[in-house]
Amino acid sequence: MSIVILDEHTRDKIAAGEVVERPASVVKELVENALDADAKRIEVRLDGAGDAITVTDDGCGMSPEDLSLCIHRHATSKIRTADDLALISSYGFRGEALPSIAAVSELEIRTRPGGSDTGNRIVVSAGNVIATGEAPSAPGTTVHVRRLFFNTPVRARFLRSARAELARAVGMVEKLALARPDVAFRCESGGRLVLHTPGGGDYLETLLALAGLETAREVCLGSAAVVGARAVALVGSPATCRADRRRQGAWINSRPVSVRGLVEAAEAAYPWGVLPGRRHPLLYLLMSLPPEDVDVNVHPAKAEVRLADGTPAFALAAAAVRDAAAARVLAGAADIAGAGLRAGDIAGAADIAGPAAPPGMQRRVRYGEGPAGEPGAGTRSWPQPAGRAGHMLAVGEAPAAWDLWATDLSALRPLGQVGASWLACDGPGGLVVVDQHAAHERVIFEHLGAGTTSPGSQVLAIPAAVELSPGDFARWTAAEEVLAESGFVTEHFGGTGVLIREIPADLAGARWSPEPLLVDILAALEDEARAAAPLGPRLAARRAVASCAAAVKAHQPLAGPELSSLLSQLASCREPWRCPHGRPTVILITHDELARRFGRQ
């Protein structure tokens, strides 16, 4: 077979594969183009399995000439020469996005530049221009992608389920929206509004819109800057911790990127010590770095960037996290509302590092007046944030969680039991109230659920017979084996009776009888099976065993040493703040709150 130079169509398809892997990458490219066009409002509509995507912006639009050029490879408004690559501050620059998308879909662009009365459109299918001409359009640009990957069936086959692809695409919009709180985003998926941000420029407001109140109130904002570079960190309290890193991310110059070790470096500065069990808090890093420090031309989709040696990025990220954590000390409850850091504060204003240069005019941004290669050689100092560095979102009451997380549970002084259900304790931050049931659930859950080492099962001297309800008996029948694996050895004992022969060694003790333990497990099994449906009945049963073990029920009086013991056991938990069902185990009523309630403030 002889060697030939591939024809243009084939080349386009190959190139398209690098940039456009899946619907989410199309969304990313189109939204970035919109941001490069200085849009203030961006709407994304996803339909079908993510193979129909519409992105509408109110940006500067394109002239008819630009419109016909834009679908050609390496046609870009954003750079002119190779030298410019070192100073990329716009999102796009390779001129690959639109042609790549056009090569693997049916694409229609309608656009109207600001100041012009008429709009234009172009229709492209698999890279071939089908139609051009004048067409009505609102100011800005609308890109409409249909039948994505219709001509690359292999690529199409590699896509995951429609739901997964849509979720990824929405996730991408989320990432972009968080990086640009100054732009209002709207995203509809399958006709449902799934995301919208106000575009007021406030990070916490944007986070509130994206992540919801529950999360946003647990988040603190901090920043750090040196000449030429700046970092803002959105850091969640330990309540936001998860086993995965899905709620972590880095943005450099408003571009969601992955940089090896950056988020990890920031997490290491997390003040609540190493989060045991490899749990990761919400942690978003928004950095602006001198463009010449950031090599984005590593990956066609720019997902991975390389940082220049000696970059202050890592130190800055850590400093911003520390600042966020310290913020809760600075932020008085009263003055934090609305004092959020604005977008302009971090980017050192978009005109420096932000990618907001209007298309059609490549903007070169230099740091100071020094020769290139000496970034930050001095003249420009970063504007200080309008608010204090670091605030918490004040929504409803001031969140006390941060004070609480800093509490050393084992150092609490138990005061006594309230209503036989709660433990009142004197803590450094105020009155700490522990839900004994939830706390105990957590303790047992970690003992059992840790699952790394089986605690073994205590053989009973006197096997315990228990008569089950028909429902419980049915659940027992289904779960018998898994129960045995968890150390709960039972056997049928006639009728709906069950004989308990062994129980998990952790749960053995004169205080807890095996019978209610089993009944609790079986009851919990129903809830858990539902909750853990995708995880399978096995795990459900295991978790049920754990949560069952809520042996110290509410309404059980506890004596002094038992109070202390529960507290110290809770303190030794990997994640003491929530019960396995996610309810809080501990709340803090701060001294301030107490003073306020007594009318002393």
Q: Can you give the binding site for another protein, defined by CB under 8 A?
A: 447, 452-462, 464, 502, 505-506, 508-516, 569, 572
CB 293 within 8 A of CB 252: no
DSSP structure string for 241-274: -BSSSTTEEEEETTEEEB-TTHHHHHHHT-TT-P
Residue 512 Cβ vs another protein, minimum distance, rounded to whole Å:
6
Residue 239 Cβ vs another protein, minimum distance, rounded to whole Å:
24
* Cα–Cα separations (whole angstroms), residue 397 to 213, 393, 408, 426, 517: 12, 10, 23, 21, 38
DSSP 83: G
Residue nearer to another protein on the CB measure, 243 or 462:
462
Residue 477 Cβ vs another protein, minimum distance, rounded to whole Å:
22
Residue nearer to another protein on the CB measure, 362 or 486:
486
Residue nearer to another protein on the CB measure, 212 or 451:
451
Residue nearer to another protein on the CB measure, 116 or 564:
564
Residue 555 Cβ vs another protein, minimum distance, rounded to whole Å:
13
DSSP E strands in 201-244: the ranges are 219-226, 229-236
Residue nearer to another protein on the CB measure, 493 or 512:
512
Residue nearer to another protein on the CB measure, 465 or 595:
465
DSSP E strands in 113-165: the ranges are 120-125, 128-134, 140-146
Residue nearer to another protein on the CB measure, 21 or 506:
506
Beta carbons within 10 angstroms of residue 361's beta carbon: 9
Residue 452 Cβ vs another protein, minimum distance, rounded to whole Å:
7
Residue 516 Cβ vs another protein, minimum distance, rounded to whole Å:
6
Residue nearer to another protein on the CB measure, 3 or 461:
461
User: d(Cα 110, Cα 379) in Å, to the nearest integer?
Assistant: 43
Comparing C-alpha atoms, which of 444, 439, 445 is closest to residue 424?
Answer: 439
Q: What is the dihedral of CA 56, 62, 64, 67, to 10 degrees?
A: -70
User: d(Cα 496, Cα 113) in Å, to the nearest integer?
Assistant: 77
Residue 453 Cβ vs another protein, minimum distance, rounded to whole Å:
6
Residue 349 Cβ vs another protein, minimum distance, rounded to whole Å:
50
419-424, Cβ contacts within 8 angstroms, sequence gap of 24 or more: 419/555, 420/554, 420/555, 420/556, 420/557, 421/554, 421/555, 423/558, 423/563, 423/566, 423/567
Q: Which amino acid is at 508?
A: A
Residue 456 Cβ vs another protein, minimum distance, rounded to whole Å:
4
Residue with the two structure tokens 């709340």: 587
β-bridge mates for residue 112, sequence order? 140
Residue nearer to another protein on the CB measure, 479 or 508:
508
Q: Which amino acid is at 360?
A: G
User: d(Cα 317, Cα 262) in Å, to the nearest integer?
Assistant: 7
∠ Cα 501 503 507 (to 5°): 150
